[in-house]
Each structure stands twice: as structure tokens, then as C-alpha cells.
Amino acid sequence: MNDAIPPPDIPDLPDLEPGWVWLAGAGPGDPGLLTVLALHGLRRADVVVHDALVDERVLGLVRPGTVLEFAGKRGGRPSAKQRDISRRLIELARAGRRVLRLKGGDPFVFGRGGEEALALARAGVSFRVVPGITAAVGGLAYAGLPLTHRDANSAVTLVTGHASSGEVPDGLDWRAIANGAPVVVLYMAIKHLARIADLLRDAGRADDTPVAVISEAATPRQRMLRATLATVADAVVTEAMTPPALVAIGPIVELEGALGWLGVRPAAAGDGLDQRRAG
């Protein structure tokens, strides 16, 4: 039996009301990873203000007539200033629009959602935060890597490899990061990967520590390469791995051989996902 089953009515979903902003996460790519609440917001919004990381298939779920406003950096277009984005959200809300501010992953994980929420609060604009699946959780799962595994790591450290200055974050204690949790997951680290790998090795991480780089995770373009801390910076260049990408460092990477489920499951009709490997 494979009769189409209508989606259930979820009780007590709040409404996206005129004059409100919902600050929502879209997950890492696959529209199936949207939360019910984010999808509800997408279907109710008058205006969706979105980042470059939000998958086109997610944006395709809006009602006809919904205005899509791009606020981000893509294809050489200049990046909208954070202050301008917050100002625009306030302006739309004050004009009585139902506003969905949609960000890749989770809005509060390396996504400047906190800054936008603060601006809305200060302006007296009503808002709700709709969490999303952050890339480290969803992206690693789609690459066959559990973020934690009882036999591998009881802790994980999430780090951004890119400060607002554009440089490697210098306020971080890299020695503590190297020696704190067995697993470190880097966001936004492709540009500075050679420097970060050196910082971790100088702080005591072994050269042969396993590393995985996953680009465009949970999209049809997902690619992964495996290397070591000593070889990963060169491998990323050789294999032309480009952002958005995650870098997972530590023993969980060894589990991918057993748990890389994406390429081996029977493909669901039309999902188009294919675990392509680089290298």
C-alpha cells in the first residue's frame, strides 16, 4: 500500500500575524528537514526575507504571491549590511506585513539571528524564533557521521573559522579547542583551513587525526572528502571543495564507512540526493 496520506493537522500551531516577524531556520538544504513550524510560516508569510544558504526548493514552498526578498551574499553581488537587513525587517513589520526571516540551518547558530532578534526587540516589533536543524547536525547526519557516539566522543565543539573581520577568529583559545572535546566541527573554515589545521596540530592534535569535509550537505550536490589533519588543506584545494562546507575533525569520521547511508539507500522518488565522493 502506498496510497498518498494527507499531512496531519498539527494542533495549536501559532499563526504568523500581520506585523510579526518569525526568525526561522530552514535547515541545511533538503526541504524535508524543515520544521513543521517553519513550513507553516512559509505558507503564511507575505514576505520571506532569505539568505543565500536557503535552498531553492525550500523557497519554492511559498504561497503564490508571496514576495521573496534576498538578503545575503551570492554570485558576487554585494552583501547586504546587517544593519540594513534588521532595518528592513522592522520596516516590513511596521507596514503590517507577515514577515518570515528565513536563514540556513538554525538562526541562532553562527547565523546572526541574535543580532536581528535584538534589533526587533529594541524596536518593539513582535517576533518568534523558529529553530532549524543546524548544518553540523543535519549535514553530518547526511554524510553518515553521528555528531556524538558513545565510544568516540562525549563532547563536541562547534567553531567558526571566519570572524567578522574575515580572519581566523583570534579571540579563541585554540589550545583549549584542540584538547577540549575529541570532535571539533568547523563552520566557514574552507578559506582558512591550512591555518586552522596548523593551529590544532601545534596545540597537540595528531597529524593523522581523521578529517571529513562535506560541502553542500543535504542537497543534490553534496560531496565529501576524507583526509587527515596534516593533509586536509591540500586535499580541499586538489578536490576543489567549495563553500558552504563543514569540516569534521576527530574519531567520528571513522564511522562514515559503516554509516554512510545516503548513497546506499533505495532512492526516494525524485529526491535526487546522491552521495558523491571527492577523492
Ligand X SMILES: C[S@@+](CC[C@H](N)C(=O)[O-])C[C@H]1O[C@@H](n2cnc3c(N)ncnc32)[C@H](O)[C@@H]1O
Task: Read off the DSSP letter of residue 173.
Answer: -
CA distance 74 to 51: 9
Please identify which of the residues 73, 202, 208, 234 carries the catalytic annotation.
73
Task: Read off the DSSP letter of residue 130.
Answer: E
Cβ pair 272, 236 in contact under 8 A: no
Please identify which of the residues 30, 46, 51, 55 carries the catalytic annotation.
51
241 is an active site residue: no
Which residue do the cell numbers 517553519 mark?
A: 38
Whole-number minimum distance, CB 45 to ligand X, in Å? 19
State which residue, 10 or 194, has the beta carbon closest to ligand X.
194
Whole-number minimum distance, CB 250 to ligand X, in Å? 17
CA distance 59 to 68: 8
Q: With b meaning 16 or more CB within 10 Å and e meaning fewer, what string describes 236-273?
A: beebebeebbbbbbbebbebbeeebebeeeeeeeeeeb
State which residue, 188 or 273, has the beta carbon closest to ligand X.
188
Please identify which of the residues 106, 188, 224, 241 carries the catalytic annotation.
188
CA distance 194 to 196: 6
State which residue, 86 or 134, has the beta carbon closest to ligand X.
134
Residue (of 279, 145, 161) closest to 218 by Cα position: 145
Read off the C-alpha cell for 227: 583526509
Q: How far out from the chain centre does Cα 184 lie?
A: 16
Whole-number minimum distance, CB 193 to ligand X, in Å? 11
51 is an active site residue: yes
Q: Which residue is nearest to ligand X (CB)?
A: 105
State which residue, 178 or 189, has the beta carbon closest to ligand X.
189
List residues near ligand X by CB under 6 A. Answer: 28-29, 53, 103-106, 109-111, 134-135, 139, 187-188, 214-219, 243-246
State which residue, 46 or 51, has the beta carbon closest to ligand X.
51
Whole-number minimum distance, CB 35 to ligand X, in Å? 13
Residue type, 215: S
Whole-number minimum distance, CB 190 to ligand X, in Å? 7
What residues are annotated to the active site? 51, 73, 188
